[in-house]
Amino acid sequence: MNHDFEQFYASQDQVWSGNPNENLVNALGDVPPGTALDIGCGEGADVKWLHDQGWVVTGIDPSATAIERTRAKCPEATLHVGTFEELELGTYDLIVASYVPLAKDAGKKLKACLNDGGKLVLLHHEFPLHQAPEDYLMPHNAHELLGGEWDIKVTKKQRSVQHGKGKHHKDDLLLTATVREHAK
């Protein structure tokens, strides 16, 4: 993946709205807290929200600037600079990835990082299928890329963001998935 996330974050004081993702909040509102991994945690709004709900949160992001901003927002979180593919990680009750370019072969590692009964929540903008990236794990290709060991649900969600770079995107796809018990 050829992204310069450090330049992206370092080039401005604040990129995103500073608020947790409303679709993530709605999806997890009644899930009892445990351990959580936020892949591509950015400036930490979701990390902070998860922590405030009682989760023990680990956040990762390839940008050191983003991690510094997350640390300022939620010093209680465990934070690492790097990508999901390159970091050695533990296991979690919840894995969250919002608008993150996960490699299309990330499914095996995602499964290995989930505790029994754990949940994967993947959020992406809805793209017309002819524009949807095929090199990444996305809600539209998750059944194919994650495989039959997962119970997967994809729903279309509206969102309302008033500030930050993502404010022009109004339609999201929310994927929630769990590994079937016999597949672990």
- What is the tens place of the pLDDT at every residue in 112-143? 999 999 999 999 877 666 565 677 787 878 88
pLDDT of residue 169: 53
Element (H, E) at 122: strand 114-125
Task: Domain ranges for the chain, please list them.
Answer: 5-183
Cα 10 from Cα 72, distance rounded (Å):
15
The proportion of the chain whose per-residue pLDDT surpasses 70, expressed as a percent, equals 84
Q: Report whether CATH 3.40.640.10 matches the domain 5-183.
A: no
Query: Is residue 156's pLDDT more than 60?
Result: yes
pLDDT of residue 182: 55
- What is the tens place of the pLDDT at every residue in 28-85? 988 999 999 999 999 999 999 999 999 999 999 999 999 999 999 999 999 999 999 9
- The upper half-sphere exposure of residue 180, i.e. CA atoms within 13 Å in the direction of its Cβ, equals 9
Q: Please state the rounded mean pLDDT for residues 152-177.
A: 69
- Bigger pLDDT: 23 vs 74: 74
Query: Is residue 184's pLDDT more than 80?
Result: no
Cα 119 from Cα 150, distance rounded (Å):
10
The proportion of the chain whose per-residue pLDDT surpasses 90, expressed as a percent, equals 52
pLDDT of residue 2: 41
**pTM given for the model:** 0.85
Mean pLDDT of the chain: 85
- Bigger pLDDT: 104 vs 9: 104
pLDDT of residue 118: 94
Cα 182 from Cα 184, distance rounded (Å):
6
